[in-house]
Amino acid sequence: MKLIVGLGNPGAKYARNRHNIGFMAVDRIAADHGFGPWKGKHQGSISEGRFGSDRAVLLKPETFMNNSGQSVQAAMRFYKVEPGDVIVLHDEIDLAPGKVKCKVGGGHAGHNGLRSIHAHIGPDYARVRLGVGHPGHKDAVPGYVLRDFRKADEAWLDDVLRGVSDGAPYLVAGDLAKFMNAVGLRISPPRPSTGTKPPPAKPAPPEPAQDTRNAVQKLMDRFK
């Protein structure tokens, strides 16, 4: 069983914030794959379901971002899973908008949600890093991630969320390569063939017939 955690802040005020892209991702997974209704448990909201024979639990911590680890730890204890069974989906300012990357283990890079999870369960869990871009200066980061996505972001955001949902079965199965391929097919789909062919080459004009008349015949023909 896998515990898939989407990071964000609870409440309508934060629903479309860049910081809440993790919440948006698990909401899309639950809706697309027929998971059960969201229920309040483990200091968060959970939804349970399956991808074929693989069971998964989706979790949205409702402790606010900076205390996300409390909810993750509580859910882990209840479901008796190890850090290696935890997958965290979160916003990543060090990736361009629309970019997605995966990693297992490593540091928290200053992300407060990951920092809290590190403190409660350690670093040995998987992360899906969902790029939201950087405001350009570190002092602007808090305000940037707590502002809503712009209308101009809607197209790539929808592609990312659909791609993550498409790839969720592979994510749970531990096949990160197939997961990334599913995301890539949404973000950068192959261009369809136009089906057009170059026009056929025009046939060469026929060569003129060779004139076999002698000089006298040519002269006589001129006066006919």
Instruction: Give pLDDT tens digits along the chain (224 positions).
Output: 999 999 999 999 999 999 999 999 999 999 999 999 999 999 999 999 999 999 999 999 999 999 999 999 999 999 999 999 999 999 999 999 999 999 999 999 899 999 999 999 999 999 999 999 999 999 999 999 999 999 999 999 999 999 999 999 999 999 999 999 999 999 988 777 665 555 665 554 554 555 666 665 666 666 55
Q: What is the pLDDT of residue 214?
A: 66
Q: What is the pLDDT of residue 34?
A: 97
Q: Is residue 19 flagged as an active site residue?
A: yes
Judge whether 50 lies within some domain: yes
The catalytic residue among 19, 42, 90, 111 is 19
Judge whether 223 lies within some domain: no
Judge whether 205 lies within some domain: no
Judge whether 138 lies within some domain: yes
Report the number of distinct structural domains present in the chain.
1
Judge whether 222 lies within some domain: no
CATH of the domain at 107: 3.40.50.1470
Give the separation between CA 134 and CA 76, rounded to whole angstroms: 32
Which two tokens mark 116?
A: 């809290």
Which helix (H) or strand (E) segment holds residue 218: the answer is helix 215-222
The predicted model scores a pTM of 0.84
The answer to whether 46 touches 59, Cβ cutoff 8 Å, is yes
Judge whether 22 lies within some domain: yes
Judge whether 208 lies within some domain: no
Strand order through the sheet with 126-131: 39-41, 44-51, 54-61, 2-6, 86-92, 126-131, 100-104
The domain of 102 spans 2-187
Q: Quick one: CA torsion of 159, 89, 166, 77, rounded to 10 degrees?
A: -160
Judge whether 204 lies within some domain: no
Q: What is the pLDDT of residue 221?
A: 63
